[in-house]
Amino acid sequence: MCAAAARQGRGRALVAQADPHRPGCGVPAGRAFVSVAPEDPEDPGASRPGARPAQADAPREGRIRGWLRALLRLTSLRLRLVTVFALVALVAAVSVSGIAYWLNRDAVLTRAQNAALRDFRETLGEQASVLPEESSCGDYTGMAGAVARNTLDYQVVLRAEPAEGGRICTAESDPAVFAYAMVPDSLVEAVNDRRDGDGEAAYHLYWQRITVDGDPYLIGGTRVMGGGPTGYMYVSLAPERDDLNSLAWSLGIATALAVIGSVLLAQAAATMVLRPVQRLSDAAQRLGEGKLDTRLEVRGADELAELTRTFNRSVASLEQRVKDLSAREAASRRFVADMSHELRTPMTAITAMTEVLEDEVDNLDPMIAPAVQLVVSETRRLNDLVENLMEVTRFDAGTARMVLDEVDIADQVTACIDARAWLDAVELNADRGIIARLDPRRLDVILANLIGNALKHGGSPVSVTIREEAAAHGASTVLVEVADRGPGIPDEVLPHVFDRFYKASASRPRSDGSGLGLSIALENAHLHGGDISAHNAKDGGAVFTLRLPREPDLPERQPAGAESRPGGPAEGEPG
């Protein structure tokens, strides 16, 4: 009988995921039949109609990951730390919640399923034992009702197959709820499959989960041994599903609270970690402003404290080096200034004497005249060098002054060219009437250096172009471009053309100048609030561009007509 089969524990589970009963629940582990009925949505691994393939979401997921990476790159370190904390907490919370849910789900469904199947098997065996030997359909109907009444609120269908020639009897406890037609064919086939193996019962208990109108149900079936009827039970798993849904909501709320808590903790941790970093940033900013006495208080003994100590040691070393360099530079400037002033007085006398010799050169012995000419040229060069050095010291000391006046740029360029007899070697492209408020003498020094440099190293003709360029806030800028026809300036030399005492080649003749001309021109441009740039033209030759504002945004340090200090002679050679 059925009770014997129950005692042997030889039932089989008919489920897609091979979810067997535990030993002692009527169905041993290790065997499963593939179900053809719809699976419970709660069932792990169950397929869902209309679900999109994973490949369809791949492009969208790639875009989301790219957007997240870009967002993290563009945001602050604090937000990155908080985001990482939140993501780690989210992954951990979701993982723990997911594991807890699936473990509880398996336990809840297994417990409900085992209880229902065990109760059905025992009640079916008890009721089958009291059936008369020659049972009628009425007896089976009464038995179905009795089994349904004495079990855990489920419906029962009994199907009896009498001897040959008899009519098959189907007894249903509540046909409106559970009818034989609702039993899956696969379950019917498994239940009626006779097993004649050694040590095994002929028939076993099988079960299957199905979904009806969106609600999960459990159907189980077995056949009473000894020619008894086949019984099927039908019980709803909706209470268990509701319990699992409540559990899922609870876990979801717990996960959200965990993420929020982790964000708050991450914010607090980020503040603690980044506060010393912010202090270092502020100190570095003060250091960049020239406050070399900046120091930080060392707090604690961790890595950030060691970083603070290293910062303090580095700043102290930097401060000492800057002091040493400043002292050396100050001594060098004093030396140059003192030497220039000391040389100026004897150079005035020597220059006067050389002018006398130059006037008498025609009356001197022809053998002596070349020597006199050499003395005159070298004396002038030495005098120019002294004047340049004195001008450089004024720039460094910040004592250079300007005398501003309304200047026609084209007239000023023409005067510079005419004074140095460069009219045949220079092409002037300019419209008159471009007026700017500048220091005429310092502008002459700038122009003489740029044009003379182009003539000496680029060759004639030199092109000088003057134009006006609109600037921000309604102001305008005067541009003076000096272009030559030479080979241009080597790329490795371009960044250094305005450096002091720089020469493109150490083998250049000594008469090529001191290397201060372009440097002085640039300093004079800076005094006006302008600038000078250099580049090579595409068709060859070097181009120097002077930019000066028409109205310098600086105080007039001396009234018009006052005598200004020399602006430095024009060397006409590369700085």
Task: Give me the pLDDT at residue 459, please.
Answer: 75
Q: What is the DSSP string of 484-544?
A: --S----TTTGGGTTSTT--S-TTS-GGG--S-HHHHHHHHHHHTT-EEEEEE-TTSSEEE
Look at residue 56 in the predicted model and tell me its pLDDT: 47
The pLDDT value given to residue 553: 67
The CATH number of 2-44+75-249 is 3.30.450.20
Q: Which pLDDT score is estimated for 59?
A: 66
- For residue 457, the one-letter residue type is H
Domain layout of the chain by residue ranges:
2-44+75-249, 400-549
pLDDT score at 68: 65
Q: What is the pLDDT of residue 202?
A: 64
Cα distance between the two ends of the chain? 116
Contact between residue 350 and residue 321 where contact means Cβ atoms under 8 Å apart: no
What pLDDT, on a 0 to 100 scale, did the predictor assign at position 75? 60
Give the Cα separation of 428 and 447 in Å (integer).
12
CATH among 3.90.79.10, 3.40.1190.20, 3.40.50.720, 3.30.565.10 for 400-549? 3.30.565.10
CA angle 112, 212, 204 (to 5 degrees): 50
Q: Residue 570 in contact with residue 448, Cβ under 8 Å?
A: yes
pLDDT at 265: 85
CB 252 within 8 A of CB 97: yes
What's the pLDDT score for residue 33?
31
pLDDT of residue 543: 92
Task: Give the predicted TM-score (pTM) of the model.
Answer: 0.45
| Residue among 278, 286, 276 at smallest CA distance from 306 | 276
Quick check: helix, strand or coil at residue 571? coil
Of the candidates 220, 231, 243, which has an alpha carbon nearest to the alpha carbon of residue 113? 220
Scanning 398-516, the segments in alpha helix (DSSP H) are 409-419, 440-457
Same fold, 2-44+75-249 and 400-549: no
What confidence score (pLDDT) does residue 540 get?
A: 83
Q: What is the DSSP string of 60-73?
A: HHHHHHHHHHHHHH
pLDDT in tens, the chain (575 residues): 443 333 333 343 443 333 333 333 333 333 333 232 333 434 433 333 343 444 445 567 767 776 666 555 556 777 777 888 888 888 888 899 889 889 988 898 888 888 888 888 888 888 887 777 777 788 888 888 888 877 667 888 888 876 555 678 888 888 888 888 888 988 888 888 877 655 456 678 889 888 888 889 889 988 887 667 888 989 888 888 888 899 889 988 988 888 888 888 888 888 887 788 888 888 888 888 888 888 888 887 877 788 888 888 998 898 899 889 888 878 877 777 777 777 777 878 888 888 887 787 777 777 888 888 888 878 877 777 777 777 777 777 777 787 888 888 888 899 998 888 888 888 888 877 888 888 888 899 899 889 988 888 877 789 999 988 876 666 788 999 999 888 888 888 888 888 877 766 544 444 456 678 888 888 888 888 889 999 998 888 899 999 998 887 655 444 333 344 444 454 444 33
Long-range CB contact pairs, 174-182, < 8 A, 24+: 174/148, 177/234, 178/232, 178/234, 180/232, 182/212, 182/219, 182/234
